[in-house]
Structure 1
């Protein structure tokens, strides 16, 4: 009886510790996840660099490179996003005043139409204000992200040992997840470069800027496409707001449609699944379902987690069928 009581107490302690650990990590799960993806992408470079300068120095060097890149991103983001948010807030206020000045019957305006319009505009303003006040939280997430990047690079060998098992079936499942993650990273890189080229062309076609600025917009699109919190759509949004402010409504709408269709986010759910399916020898419909479902349930990180989970789940199902067939025979 005493032994059973000890097991119960030990079980309660383990569950409590696991629960508290989940609560501790949960607010920074996105940072932890994207830090793992970053470290995974840098692993080939880290492996070669470690042979020359050592594991710790290599981890420090690569983390410093990520910090410099993140600092440049932050500066660009501040100078890019601040005027856009301010201009968007002004546009929403102008739209509200313009709608109230329309010759709509007073009874209709005071009814459901006015209520819906007011709610939509207030929601837009609230979103912009929340985006502005979320900057400190993004800074904290970035610090945690960088710390985890360094940790994963430094503990690379220990993590590899932790994920190495004697069971052949389990290793096959892990290898399947590894193959899917490699395919996602390659597709991410190729697609982001294509987005940058298309954005440069779009800025020139819709006369947003001259050639040097258009090239800069393309480079920023590539860089922003690697930032989990934002993505490359920010660049065509800035360009559309600029054209709208200059009075070119049709060009602004054209750039918005062009950017949405060819740059972001539509290609993430059309072209990317094809690239991942080809690289991972995986059905593109399953990849698309994983990306959409993952994004819906987990946010941006679901773009990566969703396909990996479905691919691993299918591999587990295949292994289970093999075990069942062997037992029956």
Structure 2
């Protein structure tokens, strides 16, 4: 009996190892495909109620496929140059950031980012320059996972809940809810809002003649990164752009400032963001910051999702442990009072 158990354990470990080796290079598109399904699922439900299931899948899949192809073309044509410009922007930004007087904890975070981000950008630059066919393959996997997950979303949700153990089912449900809260707060609100501001800034930089396409994309990426930081924000980018334009034409500088105030900051922060976060759990900006940037440093691009989820799960486990220990402490307190 023991020998049979050992054989089965070895067989399971071999299968897990083979699966890991098979999927290791495709973890990023798989995770992003599942995350994209979770993000668009509410829109898919609304469309499905109006036009039916087949047409809803066709419309949503078509939109996601179109954006994915545009992304691949952007990587092929512009992102390489954009990353070079972003590297220059970040180097200047971190030099300026290092001169600020901030708390020691934030200073340590900024120093770590200043060290790690240039290295990550260098890796990304080489990856996208030399591995366009690999990126195209990952894009195909992303679309396949997205379509399969979207088609079987209800079934997969039921399966996940059915796999929860009966003894600690409440803890499992709490962990799933924590993942949902984190993904909602990070992806649907924080990252989405930051990316939209970055897109508007990139459009503004190009329209007002502040930079070419590659430089505008780089400025937009940097704006999205700055929006994730708790102390500074994307408004720095449009202020810098307005200062540059002021030396060329004060009228253009004023128009660009109005554009920045309306589309980047602070107007959207007081009008649109409260509506996005109204019915969602709030995640601490420091926790989200550490989760996103720590995840990127540890896992690469997929760390944008895995990092915050990991920290969210840790807090869920701590809360569950507190709930388990609270009755024990109360019973001990009552017992000591009786004594």
TM-score by length of 1: 0.64
Inter-partner Cα distance in structure 2 for 1:78 and 1:289: 31
**1:266 maps onto 2:226 in alignment:** yes
- 1:137-216 alignment runs, 5 A limit: 137-164=134-161, 165=164, 167-184=169-186, 185-203=188-206, 207-208=210-211
Inter-partner Cα distance in structure 2 for 1:181 and 1:163: 17
Larger Rg: 1
Higher relative contact order (CA 8 A, sep 6+): 2
Change (3 A) 1:7 1:57: farther
Q: Deviations over 1:301-324 (max 9, x none)?
A: 212221121111111111112212
Q: What is residue 35 of structure 1 aligned with on the other side? A: 33
- 1:184-263 alignment runs, 5 A limit: 184=186, 185-203=188-206, 207-208=210-211, 234-236=214-216, 263=223
Query: Is the 1:60–1:150 contact (alpha carbons within 8 Å) kept by the matching residues of 2?
Result: no
Q: Deviations over 1:149-179 (max 9, x none)?
A: 0111111012111222462232122111101
Q: Secondary structure at the match of 1:163?
A: helix
Inter-partner Cα distance in structure 1 for 2:122 and 2:198: 29
Q: What is residue 17 of structure 2 aligned with on the other side? A: 19
Q: Deviations over 1:14-63 (max 9, x none)?
A: 11111111111111000001101111111112223344555455334422
Q: What is residue 246 of structure 2 aligned with on the other side? A: none
Inter-partner Cα distance in structure 1 for 2:184 and 2:132: 31
List gaps (5 residues or longer) in structure 2: 86-120, 235-268, 332-339
Inter-partner Cα distance in structure 2 for 1:265 and 1:19: 36
- 1:18-167 alignment runs, 5 A limit: 18-51=16-49, 55=53, 58-81=56-79, 84=81, 131-164=128-161, 165=164, 167=169
Number of equivalences? 246
Change (3 A) 1:327 1:191: same
Q: What is residue 98 of structure 1 aligned with on the other side? A: none
CA RMSD of aligned residues (A): 3.4
Inter-partner Cα distance in structure 2 for 1:192 and 1:126: 22
Query: Is the 2:189–2:277 contact (alpha carbons within 8 Å) kept by the matching residues of 1?
Result: no
Change (3 A) 1:24 1:199: same
TM-score by length of 2: 0.62
Q: Secondary structure at the match of 1:280?
A: coil
1:10 alignment partner, one of 8, 11, 18: 8
